[in-house]
Structure 1
Amino acid sequence: MNYPQLLFPDFSLILCGYLLCRHTALNRTVWEPVEGLVYYFLFPVLLFQSIIKSPLDFGATSNLMAAGLLVIAIGIALAYALPWLPWIGRHIDARDHAASSQIAFRYNSFIGLALAGKLAGPEGLLLMSVLIGVSVPLNNIGAVWPMARHANLGLARELVRNPLILGTAAGLAGNLLGLHIPVWLEPTVTRIGGASVPLGLMAAGAGMQLGHLSRAKTLTVAMLSIRHLLLPLVAFGLSRLLRLEPLQTTVLLMFSALPTASSCYVLAARMGYNAAYVAGLVTLSTVLGMLSLPFALGLLR
């Protein structure tokens, strides 16, 4: 599998947004409304569509789903624990930590689905869809909580108002009720959701300021180490503990080593945090995915 080739489109879109914002008339005044469009409309539609069309077979995949949720939960716990570590915490800015915690456990679902289809065929694609479907609620709650808590916004209010969580909840409710998007409406919904990824990545590039990474080196190394080293090791251990089948193990390892989600930047920007720093982390995570995916699927598998 050519991982650089698989990840290059995402990286190139981030670079494109960066260059357009810095060297053309398409400056920040253009990209700020784009961030709002992606956050409040495009991403929620994408989440709703992705979840409602993914069949959740709780019987055949219960161990895999448990492993996926544990990978996310452990990622959240590790990210949240960083300020409390005596040798790391004193070098971490509280606001930057609140905004960047999501980097450690969120993932790029489009790369995951593309990779699963190429490596494991239709069955692997289905298993990846199931993992994404069950983990999105926990992911979004884990991403929103530290920012809402640090800004004293009230977790319940932020969760109820968060468009990503509303899209997720609506998708899960529709899935469990057996609802489907009407055939005549599906192409429109697909195009709306599909537009969210390139625009979200370009917006991340437009908001990127790499200088912020050099001022938070400890936090940067810690978050990316959790995302690209520790979580694949956790997934490997869980696959052995829960005795997953070979295909399920492959999909879980793939799931654990994905680059972080491009929507991390948009969420941080909309909640008033240091989005430029988060955009830099998204870029670095996309690059590091070229190393963590071969590590998980080659060495660990």
Structure 2
Amino acid sequence: MLTYVTPVLAIVLLGAALRRMRSVPDGLFPAMEWFSFYVAFPALLFVGAARLKLSAADALDLSLAALLPTLLLTAVVLLALRAAPRLPGPSRSSVVQGAVRPSSYFGLAVAALLFPPETTAMVMLVLAICLPVVNVIAVVALAWWGSGDASARGIARALARNPIILATLAGLLFNLSGLPLPVPLAAALDILADAALALGLLCVGGGLQFQRDHLRPVLLGATSALKLLALPVLAVLVCRWLDASAPVTTAACFYAALPTASNAYIMARQMGGDAPLMASLVTWQTLLAAATVPLAMQLPRCLA
């Protein structure tokens, strides 16, 4: 599996190298981040969700197999944070994001190389199901502990403006409507979607930060262990409890093993979270994923 993770990591490292080249314009990566977050990636999510075709049984099993571990881990993180009263609020929001949000760019790029089309479709479905939920968790955490509006109206406003949530829900609703996607619209969205993964991975690399002063080993290690190791174990155990099919178990475990989302840093910066901590979490989880994702994909067999 390392064969399929390596080219994705190579694009990420290319982004890191380009960000540090003096000949690259200063405004390039902020523009790429904006276009990726607000245009290309929402197009990918909408068209992917609109085209999903899976059985109701698999969809239900996959929903439970992905959401239950995520919600359980969120509860564990919140309980752990209660035991750390001195931890600043912005850092708490970054821990929550780092423990539950997946890197969709990384996941879709690796899945397209690694899995057959039906399993890749399941990975797309689990992202479509879970992205709205984990983004709601992230936005609420940032509104509560960051510098955003923590009122119910402020949280609702932040959720209503999140392009990832809006695009995924719109795609699922269009899918449920049974209407065909108009060919010209589908072609235009496909062009944007094709650009999304490359741009997204370059932006992931551009956001990597290796400054030693941003490192907080305890927070970094604990949060990364929860995301990269504990969450996949929970996903496999839930799949065993559900007696889920092998493709469902594979997709759920793969989703759970993904490193934290690169745009978590952008959200932390925009909504008053701990952006330096979030940058460290994104950096080290992305690099560690080259080893932990192949390891996590052995869990279904080891825990059988």
* TM tier relative to shorter chain: 0.7 to 0.9
Is 2:121 aligned against 1:123?
no
Say whether residues 1:252 and 2:247 are aligned partners: no
Shift of 1:193: 2.3
Closer, same or farther in 2 for the Cα pair 1:114/1:211, shift >3 Å?
closer
Indicate conservation of the 8 Å contact 1:13/1:201, yes or no. yes
Distance 2:179 2:131 in 1: 19
Tell me if 1:95 matches 2:90. yes
CA contact (8 A) 1:78 1:226 kept: no
Secondary structure of 2:139's match? helix
Pairs aligned (count)? 296
Relative to structure 1, the CA distance from residue 182 to residue 113 in structure 2 (aligned partners, 3 Å threshold; closer, same or farther) is: same
- Alpha-carbon distance between aligned partners in 2 of 1:213 and 1:231, rounded to the nearest angstrom: 28
Spell out, residue by residue over 1:40-95, the C-alpha distance to the aligned partner (whole angstroms, 9 max, x if none).
Answer: 22222222122111135333442232111112222333343442134xx54x4421
Cα distance in 1 between the residues matched to 2:207 and 2:103: 19
The aligned residue for residue 295 of structure 2 is: 295
Structure 1 stretch 275-284 or stretch 226-235: which is displaced more? 275-284
Q: Structure 2 regions of 5+ residues with no counterpart?
A: none
Query: Aligned pair 1:170/2:170, yes or no?
Result: yes
Taking structure 1 as reference, are residues 195 and 264 closer, same or farther at Cα in structure 2, changes over 3 Å only? farther
Structural mapping, 1:258-273, within 5 Å: 258-273=258-273
The one-letter amino acid paired with 2:256 is S
**12, 29, 32: which one aligns with 1:31:** 29
User: Structure 1 residues 212, 42: CA separation in 2 closer, same or farther (over 3 Å shift)?
Assistant: farther
Q: Percent identity, please.
A: 32
Deviation at 1:117, TM superposition (A): 5.8
Provide Cα deviations, 1:246-265, integer angstroms capped at 9, x if missing partner: 33222322222123333323
- The answer as to whether partners of 1:39 and 1:266 remain within 8 angstroms in 2 is no
Aligned-partner SS, 2:184 = coil
Give how far 1:118 is off. 5.9
Tell me, yes or no, if the aligned pair for 1:261 and 1:282 is still in contact at 8 Å. yes
In structure 2, do the counterparts of structure 1 residues 273 and 17 end up closer, same or farther at CA, with 3 Å as the change threshold? Answer: farther
Q: Deviation per CA, 1:209-261, whole angstroms, max 9, x where unpaired?
A: 32267542222112111111101110121122111223322232222212333
Contact 1:111/1:258 (<8 A) preserved: yes
Equivalents in 1 of 2:188, 2:254: separation in Å?
Answer: 30
Distance in 2, Cα, partners of 1:171 & 1:22: 37
Contact 2:61 2:248 in 1 (8 A): no
Change (3 A) 1:147 1:6: same
Corresponding residue for residue 57 of structure 2: 59
Correspondences of 1:206-285 after superposition (within 5 Å):
206-211=206-211, 214-285=214-285
- The structural deviation recorded for 1:159 is 0.6
- The SS at the match of 2:72 is helix
**How does 1:45-56 map onto structure 2 within 5 Å?**
45-55=43-53
| 1:104 paired residue number | 99
Letter of the 1:283 partner, please give it. T
What TM-score, normalized to structure 2?
0.84
Q: Which amino acid aligns with 2:97?
A: Q
State the superposition RMSD in angstroms: 2.7
Flag the 1:81–1:8 CA change in 2: closer, same or farther, 3 A.
Answer: farther
**Match of 2:164, as an amino acid?**
L
Contact in 2 for aligned 1:108/1:261 (Cα 8 Å): yes
CA contact (8 A) 2:8 2:109 kept: no
The whole-number CA distance in structure 1 between the counterparts of 2:29 and 2:80 is 32
Q: Match of 1:295, as an amino acid?
A: L
TM-score scaled by length of structure 1: 0.85
Residue 22 (str. 1) matches residue 20 (str. 2): yes
SS in structure 2 of the partner of residue 185 of structure 1 = helix
* Rounded Cα–Cα distance in structure 2 between residues aligned with 1:283 and 1:180: 40
Distance change (3 Å), C-alpha of 1:127 and 1:164: closer
Amino acid at match of 1:36: W
Determine helix, strand or coil for the equivalent of 2:20: helix
Aligned-partner SS, 1:184: helix
For residues 3-32 of structure 1, the C-alpha deviation after alignment (integer angstroms, 9 at most, x for no partner) is: 2x3223333333333333333143543322
1:68 aligns with 2:33: no
